[in-house]
């Protein structure tokens, strides 16, 4: 079963939900969350976003090579800012990535009563048959959940472009695509955080909260290569949040 879960917000009624890994969260995602909230309110239900962490794509190859855009709390706060009633974070490991739709529905059931689930046109919930559309529909019918398939989101292409830009050292391009700089959180232990970005020197701004862009400028943030992937050296343990605004400049 999945490693852990945490519900941010409150659910008092049956929920209409979306499931995904929105890193980076771009304008198309924001429209989706607002639409979800309007629809749920109109039908006297709550709006729920089920956030998978880390991004499933990070289990393809080495996880530490996957470009991280925003820290998990930043993603949660952004989603909540678009009116969603609650965000259910489901954490899983590489081993859990082999689980399918049935296990995911079981993980959600004790925390939220789903009445309707929105999925992308080709979205699966696991690998192969265990996460296929046929399997999802069969499980949903048994649980009395309506599955609604949405039109393809162009925002998915924006997210992929932003991650490619980070890996290639094109931070400014990534910021243009997403519309805001990446925001990272102080590592729980130690002084480094794996980011999957191109090595070099970056510039950032210390934040008082994930979405508050006013603070101290840090002009020499080092991202270096490591056998487990590229990692950023945290400049000050007293600093909890950091928006990365420019770079990299080579050594």
Q: What is the pLDDT of residue 251?
A: 41
Q: How far apart are CA 108 and CA 102, in angstroms?
A: 10
CATH superfamily of 4-149: HUPs (3.40.50.620)
Q: What average pLDDT does the chain have? A: 91
Q: What is the 3-state secondary structure (H, E, C) of the chain?
A: CCCEEEEEECCCCCEEEEEECCCCCCHHHHHHHHHHHHHHHHCCCEEEEEEEECCHHHHCCCHHHCCCCECHHHHHHHHHHCCCCEEEEEECCCHHHHCCHHHHHHHHCCCCCEEEEEECCCCCCCCHHHHCHHHHHHHHHHHCCEEEECCCCCHHHHHHHHHHHHHCCCHHHHHHHHCCCCEEECCCCCCEEECCCCCEEEEEEEECECCECCCCEEEEEEEECCCCCCEEECCCCCCCEEEEEEEEECC
What are residue 8's DSSP bridge partners? 87
pLDDT at 17 over 60: yes
Pairing assessment for the beta strands 114-119 and 15-20 based on DSSP bridges: parallel
Q: 249 pLDDT band (50/70/90 cuts)?
A: confident
Q: 214 pLDDT band (50/70/90 cuts)?
A: low
pTM of the model: 0.92
- Of 63, 57, 64, the closest CA to residue 24 belongs to 57
Q: What is the pLDDT of residue 1?
A: 63
Any idea where the domains of the chain sit in the sequence? 4-149, 181-249
Q: How far apart are CA 108 and CA 111, in angstroms?
A: 6
70 touches 182 (CB < 8 A): yes
Average pLDDT over residues 162-188: 95
Q: What is the pLDDT of residue 119?
A: 96
Which of 12 and 251 is assigned the larger pLDDT?
Answer: 12
Q: In degrees rounded to 5, what are phi and psi of residue 105?
A: -60, -40
195 touches 225 (CB < 8 A): no
Model confidence pLDDT, tens digit, residues 48-99:
999 999 888 887 765 567 899 999 999 999 999 999 999 999 998 777 777 8
Model confidence pLDDT, tens digit, residues 33-52:
999 999 999 999 999 999 99
Model confidence pLDDT, tens digit, residues 139-152:
999 999 999 999 88
Q: What is the pLDDT of residue 59?
A: 78
pLDDT > 90 in the chain, percent: 73
């Amino acid at each position: 079963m999945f490693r852990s879960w945490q519900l941010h917000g409150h659910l008092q009624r049956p929920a209409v939900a979306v499931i995904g890994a929105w890193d980076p969260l771009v304008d198309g995602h924001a429209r989706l969350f607002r639409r979800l909230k309007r629809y749920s309110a109109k039908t006297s239900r709550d709006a729920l976003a089920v956030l998978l962490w880390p991004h499933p794509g990070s289990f393809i190859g080495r996880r530490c090579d996957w470009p991280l855009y925003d820290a998990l709390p930043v993603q949660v706060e952004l989603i909540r800012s678009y009116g969603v009633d609650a965000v259910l974070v489901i954490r899983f490991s590489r081993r859990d990535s082999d689980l399918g739709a049935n296990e995911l529905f079981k993980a959600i059931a004790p925390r939220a009563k789903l009445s309707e689930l929105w999925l992308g046109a080709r979205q699966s919930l696991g690998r192969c048959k265990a996460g296929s559309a046929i399997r999802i529909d069969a499980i949903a019918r048994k649980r009395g959940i309506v599955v609604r398939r949405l039109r393809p989101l162009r925002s998915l292409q924006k997210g992929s472009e932003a991650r490619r830009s980070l890996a290639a050292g094109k931070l400014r391009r990534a910021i243009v695509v997403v519309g805001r700089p990446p925001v990272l959180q102080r590592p729980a232990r130690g002084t480094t955080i794996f980011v999957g970005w191109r090595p070099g020197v970056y510039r950032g701004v210390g934040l008082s909260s994930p979405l508050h862009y006013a603070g101290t400028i840090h002009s020499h943030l080092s991202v270096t290569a490591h056998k487990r992937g590229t990692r950023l050296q945290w400049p000050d343990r007293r600093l909890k949040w950091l928006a990365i605004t420019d770079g990299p400049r080579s050594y």
